[in-house]
């Protein structure tokens, strides 16, 4: 079952859900709006290698905004730290942002129970698009669970700012 807006607010009050900073104005009928932070990462090599660490370049977005280019993958982040030990969060781009040609979280919308931190956003624009820090960029929905819960304790726990892929670390653990 998906949490309604009033249940999101109630779950914040009783500690079953954590969103910081929290604003009741960002509560929707069945989701919570999250805002874009002021830092982006881009990969600085022409070829990204899944089995090796990849260098990145940091971009700060100021109040005049930053223009995303269609041929680039940008890693952004939410301002909000979001987490729950009780609910499964799913993050989607807002439809109004999608109508501007911006894809947000195309391949990884699901969060794990027990993850707490800022969400890394995978941003890809169809056309050049100016974005701004603090803009409402996505919405998180929360689903109730059935069964025993195994809390997340993975490599992105406690994330602050955009996090580059650490997929290559998984390769190191393979036999």
pLDDT (tens digit per residue) in 54-100? 999 999 999 999 999 999 999 999 999 999 999 999 999 999 999 99
Tracing tokens 């911006």 back to the chain, one arrives at 102
3-state SS class at 169: helix
Per-residue pLDDT tens digits for 16-28: 999 999 999 999 9
Going by the DSSP 8-state scheme, the letter that residue 146 receives in this structure is -
Separation CA 156–CA 133 (nearest Å)? 22
Per-residue pLDDT tens digits for 113-128: 999 999 999 999 999 9
User: What separation, in Å, do the N-terminal and C-terminal C-alpha atoms of the chain show?
Assistant: 39
Separation CA 96–CA 138 (nearest Å)? 10
Contact 102, 131 (CB under 8 A): yes
- Choice between 156 and 171, residue whose per-residue pLDDT is larger: 156
Q: What is the DSSP string of 72-129?
A: --EEEEEEEEEE-SS-EEEEEE-HHHHTTTEEESSS--B--TT-EEEEEEEEEESS-E
Q: Which superfamily, per CATH, for 5-45+54-147?
A: Deoxyuridine triphosphatase (dUTPase) (2.70.40.10)
Residue extents of the structural domains in the chain: 5-45+54-147
Contacts 24+ apart (CB under 8 A), 153-159: 153/114, 154/112, 154/115, 156/115, 156/117, 156/120, 157/115, 157/116, 157/117, 158/116, 158/117, 159/77, 159/117, 159/118, 159/119, 159/120
Q: What share of the chain is helix, strand, coil (3-state, %, to 5)?
A: 15, 35, 50
Going by the DSSP 8-state scheme, the letter that residue 4 receives in this structure is P
With cut-offs at 50, 70 and 90, classify the pLDDT of residue 106.
low
Q: Residue 20 forms beta bridges with which residues?
A: 81
CA 116 remoteness from chain centre: 11
Q: Kindly tell me if the per-residue pLDDT of 108 is higher than 90.
A: no
């Amino acid at each position: 079952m998906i949490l309604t807006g009033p249940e999101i607010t109630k779950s914040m009050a009783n500690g079953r859900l954590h969103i910081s900073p929290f604003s009741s104005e960002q509560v929707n009928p069945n989701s919570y709006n999250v805002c874009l932070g002021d830092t982006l990462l881009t990969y600085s090599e022409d070829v990204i290698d899944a089995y090796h660490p990849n260098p990145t370049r940091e971009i700060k977005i100021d109040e005049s905004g930053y223009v995303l280019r269609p041929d680039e993958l940008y890693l952004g982040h939410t301002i909000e730290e979001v987490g729950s030990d009780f609910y499964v969060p799913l993050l989607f781009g807002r439809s109004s942002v999608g109508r501007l040609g911006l894809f947000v979280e195309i391949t990884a919308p699901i969060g794990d129970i027990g993850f707490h931190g800022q969400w890394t956003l995978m941003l890809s624009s169809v056309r050049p698009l100016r974005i701004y820090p603090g803009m409402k960029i996505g919405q998180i929905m929360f689903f109730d669970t059935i069964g025993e819960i195994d809390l997340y304790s993975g490599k992105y726990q406690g994330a602050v700012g955009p996090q580059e892929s650490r997929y290559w670390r998984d390769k190191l653990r393979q036999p």
